[in-house]
Amino acid sequence: MKKTITLLTFSVFTFCNAVAQQPINIKVKQASYSKLEKAQPISEETTSPKRKCGTPELNESFENWIQKEIQKQEQFANGKKAAVVYNIPIIFHIIHTGQTVGTGYNLSFTQITSQITILNADYRKLNTDQSTYLTQPALVAVAGDMEINFCAAKVSPTGVALAEPGVDRILASSKGWTSPPYTASSSYLENTVKAGSIWDPTKYFNVWVTEMSGGILGYAQFPTVPAGTVPITDIVGWGGSANTDGVVVDYKYLGNSSYAPYNKGRTLTHEAGHWLGLKHIWGDDGTSCSGTDNVSDTPNQAGENYTCPTVNGSVKTDGCTTASPGVLYQNYMDYSDDKCMVMFTAGQKARIQAVMASCIRRNTLNTSYVCSSVGVNETVSNLEISLFPNPSNGELNVTVDLLNSEDFTILVVNTLGQTIKEVSQLHSNGGTIKLDLSLNANGVYFVTVKTKTSSKTKRFILQ
């Protein structure tokens, strides 16, 4: 993609409230909802399905805004301040028609939570397959840690603890809905299914998991600029309605599945990238080399890449980038098969960080505490706790201060809601307890201190 910004007419404001991936070739109508024509079934001669995403051009007013935001962040940081590590609570709405858990639409808890593990590995640059497919030093150098963590929501919007953290199972008939499959971006899916089941998008990243007709893998709603933003007030509210905000993924492609070549959970990694403000890496310009993803460290690319090279990590060139290190088919925002999608870039990180800092419904997620069974900011007058150091390299000191002498328990919980450490104290007013967490994976964790009458939770980073 070309790295200069070309101003577009207002007609391209129909960027769409969503972008959709599809595993076979389709035609795209340039409509206000980026509505996709139904794809033809895969023929017997087709050796492998193809990922496809219907995405009209992006309104450049959004680009003007986000580039200014990135510049402000860079000026404020002045090369000294580290990027913020953002934490995003996620809820999967599993839409089924009565299947037993673990069959068909009604995916197992293990498969659902495998997607969270994949997201955290991909967005924190912890995926172990990166070195297999990213071998060119110049491309390795631009790979970035997005400093985004995803955690499974532990409570519903009404405060009820979830039996399965991060999972909301919905029997379609119980809502009066027709049975899947649904048409991607259709009025029914948007205004009936999504709007009828969304959880507060200022506190949860909503992901709907269902079957979509036409072979669609998934689609996302883009972020919305802050209300009152000037001078681009013509697109305030751009990005779609609050009651449809999130991502839809076909159930076959969530987490570790058996549906190769999209069986490694990279569909949601890709769509979450759109939800966080990223464009396709080639700039959606066909093959003209004139489009842009507005990211300076991704190579100019003629068009989307499909499949993966026969030899892992091979250099791939095209008419826009004709020499090594080649195009970046390994990027999550391309159309390559899941196995060789292995990285984001530092430039893409700058966009994501700007969106998380400023875009409505994104900028409140980091202070949402639904990944804890109790509010992290819960006020309990007879119990105080503090954690240090935070972030921690493996040793964490938990200081507990109780008004009265009583029994208490310290629980350390990961983002999947699993308790990884538990320590109990009897008849105590508190003190400092040292925890050794050095054998646990890097990421976001929660410390909860519970007594018979109260509890308090705080979040910390293990790095």
Q: Is 427 left (phi over 0), alpha (psi -120 to 50) or beta?
A: left
Return phi, psi of residue 339, to 5°.
-65, -25
User: Could you confirm whether 211 is annotated as catalytic?
Assistant: no
Return phi, psi of residue 87, to 5°.
-120, 130
Catalytic residue among 63, 271, 304, 406: 271
Contact in structure between 193 and 212 (CB atoms under 8 Å): no
Give the whole-angstrom CA distance, residue 305 versus residue 451.
56
Q: Which residues are catalytic?
A: 271
